[in-house]
Amino acid sequence: MNILHVIPSVAPRYGGPSQAILELCGALNKQGTMAEIATTDGDGAGRLSVELDKPVMYQGVRCHFFRYDWSEKIMYSRTLKRWLEGNVRAFDLVHIHTVFSHSTYAAARACWPQGVPYIVRPLGTLEPWSMSQKKGRKLVAWHMFFHPVLARAAAVHYTTEQEREWTECALGLRRGLVVANGVPECLVQTVRPPTEKTHTMLALSRIHPKKGLDLLLQAFVRLKAAGQLDGWQLVIAGDGERRYVERLRGLVRGTVAEPFVHWSGWLDGDSKYSAMRDASLFVLSSHQENFGIGVLEAMACGTPVLVSRPVGLAAQIEKTAAGWVVELRADALQDTLRVATADAKELARRGAAARALVREKFTWPRIAAEWASRYETILNQCARPVLAYA
- SS (HEC) of 223-279: HHHCCCCCCEEEEEECCECHHHHHHHHHCCCCCCCHHHEEECCCCCHHHHHHHHHHC
Whether 156 and 300 map to the same domain: the answer is: no
Residue 190: the pLDDT is: 77
Mean pLDDT over residues 239-263, rounded? 96
Sequence-distant (6+) residues with CB within 8 A of 340 are 281, 304, 306, 323, 324, 346, 347
Mean pLDDT over residues 283-293, rounded? 94
Q: Quick check: is 327 in a domain?
A: yes
- How far is residue 37 from each of residues 181, 186, 225, measured CA to CA in Å? 17, 24, 50
Mean pLDDT over residues 151-164, rounded? 96
Whether 144 and 204 map to the same domain: the answer is: no
Whether 122 and 174 map to the same domain: the answer is: yes
Q: Which of 246-250, 266-270, 346-350 is predicted least confidently?
A: 266-270
Residue 387 pLDDT greater than 80, yes or no: no
Whether 205 and 176 map to the same domain: the answer is: no
Q: Which of 80-94, 117-131, 177-191, 312-326 is predicted least confidently?
A: 177-191
Q: Quick check: is 286 in a domain?
A: yes
DSSP 8-class letter at 211: G
- How far is residue 348 from each of residues 38, 44, 218, 344, measured CA to CA in Å? 42, 39, 26, 6
pLDDT in tens, 177-186: 999 999 999 8
Residue 226 pLDDT greater than 90, yes or no: yes
Residue 318 pLDDT greater than 60, yes or no: yes
Whether 274 and 368 map to the same domain: the answer is: no
Closest CA to 315 of 203, 176, 206, 165: 165
pLDDT confidence of 386, banded at 50, 70, 90? Answer: low
Ranges of H-type helices in 254-387: 269-278, 293-300, 314-320, 330-340, 344-361, 364-380
Q: Which residues pair with 176 in a beta bridge?
A: 156
Residue 382: the pLDDT is: 79
| Side-chain-facing half-sphere of 278: CA atoms under 13 Å | 16
Whether 231 and 375 map to the same domain: the answer is: no
Domain encompassing residue 54: 2-182+364-380
Q: Quick check: is 386 in a domain?
A: no
Whether 53 and 154 map to the same domain: the answer is: yes
Sign of the Cα torsion 127, 151, 178, 204 reads negative
Mean pLDDT over residues 200-211, rounded? 95
What rounded mean pLDDT belongs to the chain?
94
Alpha carbon distance 262, 260 (integer Å): 6
Which CATH number belongs to the domain containing residue 284 in this structure?
3.40.50.2000
What is the total count of domains within the chain? 2
Q: Quick check: is 388 in a domain?
A: no
Residue 194 pLDDT greater than 80, yes or no: no
Q: Quick check: is 387 in a domain?
A: no
Sequence-distant (6+) residues with CB within 8 A of 130 are 124, 288
Residue 139 pLDDT greater than 80, yes or no: yes
Q: Quick check: is 79 in a domain?
A: yes
Whether 342 and 193 map to the same domain: the answer is: yes
Whether 157 and 206 map to the same domain: the answer is: no
Closest CA to 384 of 113, 129, 40: 113
Of 183 and 269, which is predicted with more confidence?
A: 183
Residue 65 pLDDT greater than 90, yes or no: yes
Q: Quick check: is 237 in a domain?
A: yes
Residue 388 pLDDT greater than 70, yes or no: no
Residue 279: the pLDDT is: 96
pTM for this structure? 0.90
Given a contact cutoff of 8 angstroms between Cβ atoms, the answer to whether 221 and 255 are in contact is yes
Query: String of b and e for 328-349 (b: at least 16 CB within 10 Å)?
Result: bebeebbebbeebbeeeeebee
Residue 40: the pLDDT is: 98
Residue 34: the pLDDT is: 97
Rounded to a whole number of angstroms, the distance between the first and last alpha carbons of the chain is 18
Whether 103 and 159 map to the same domain: the answer is: yes
Residue 385 pLDDT greater than 60, yes or no: no
- How far is residue 224 from each of residues 231, 257, 258, 264, 305, measured CA to CA in Å? 10, 6, 10, 20, 20
**Percent above pLDDT 70 for the chain:** 96
Residue 389: the pLDDT is: 59
Whether 132 and 176 map to the same domain: the answer is: yes
Alpha carbon distance 177, 209 (integer Å): 29
Residue 365 pLDDT greater than 70, yes or no: yes
Whether 196 and 337 map to the same domain: the answer is: yes
Q: Quick check: is 42 in a domain?
A: yes
Of 44 and 363, which is predicted with more confidence?
A: 363
Closest CA to 25 of 9, 42, 3: 3
